């Protein structure tokens, strides 16, 4: 995704194989390495993370847009993260890359609107994927498992909806942006996070519990 020539070839292959390209979902992403604190971060992975998470989205949007602009429009969906919306400590480069995707999406939506191209953004959160463990791959397996479980528990505590999200939840949101149901929607950021960025959850006591 960070190689402009390969992204161009990807779009060209899709066009040649299927006769056109109406929908592009830029969903590639990698984590930055978890550090003890930002003051201990050597930022050694900055260029790699930014190249995939931000440049890859920009390249995918540009190459898809080139084709869509000659075909009457299309839908581009960029995948960010609630880490790009909600400030917090840790994985600073990852957070910065995802925040940049949000802002780029809005700018691209304005730029490409005259061509009938809609550009929207998903911001998933609390979705079990390997990316969390990958951010702590320098730890032992036992320590990494403990880190992932502690992080998941924190996510559960800060999520208004009690059930955990799934990759299918994110796919359904992408399908909405890709379909005609969102024909008048562009430049929008949609969190898919069980309400995490909305605010602090309220846990109702079970009936009969007066303690």
Does the pLDDT of residue 146 top 80, yes or no?
no
What structural domains and CATH numbers belong to the chain? 4-192 (3.40.50.720)
Q: Is 148 exposed, middle or buried (0-12, 13-18, 19+ CB in 10 A)?
A: middle
Rounded to the nearest integer, the mean pLDDT of the chain is: 90
Instruction: Point out the residues that are catalytic.
Output: 94
137 Cβ partners below 8 Å, 6+ apart? Answer: 33, 144
Q: Is 7 exposed, middle or buried (0-12, 13-18, 19+ CB in 10 A)?
A: buried
Does the pLDDT of residue 210 top 60, yes or no?
no
CA distance 132 to 128: 8
CA R_g for the chain: 19
Predicted local distance difference test score (pLDDT) of residue 99:
98
pLDDT tens digits for range 61-70? 999 999 999 9
């Amino acid at each position: 995704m960070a190689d402009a020539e390969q992204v161009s070839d990807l779009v060209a292959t899709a066009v040649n194989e299927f006769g056109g390209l109406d929908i592009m979902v830029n969903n590639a992403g990698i984590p930055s390495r978890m550090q003890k604190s930002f003051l201990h971060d050597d930022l050694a992975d900055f260029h790699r993370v930014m190249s995939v998470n931000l440049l890859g989205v920009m390249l995918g949007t540009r190459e898809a847009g080139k084709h869509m602009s000659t075909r009457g429009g299309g839908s581009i969906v960029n995948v960010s993260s609630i880490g790009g919306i909600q400030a917090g400590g840790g994985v600073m480069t990852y957070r910065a890359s995802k925040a940049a995707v949000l802002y780029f999406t809005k700018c691209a939506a304005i730029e490409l609107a005259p061509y009938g191209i809609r550009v929207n953004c998903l911001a998933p959160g609390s979705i079990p994927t390997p990316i969390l463990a990958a951010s702590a791959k320098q730890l032992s397996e036992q320590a990494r498992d403990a880190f992932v479980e502690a992080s998941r528990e924190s996510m559960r505590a800060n999520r208004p909806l009690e059930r955990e999200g799934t990759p299918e939840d994110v796919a359904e949101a992408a399908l909405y942006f890709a379909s005609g149901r969102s024909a008048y929607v562009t430049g929008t950021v949609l969190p898919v996070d069980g309400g995490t960025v909305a605010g602090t959850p309220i846990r109702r006591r079970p009936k009969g519990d007066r303690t």
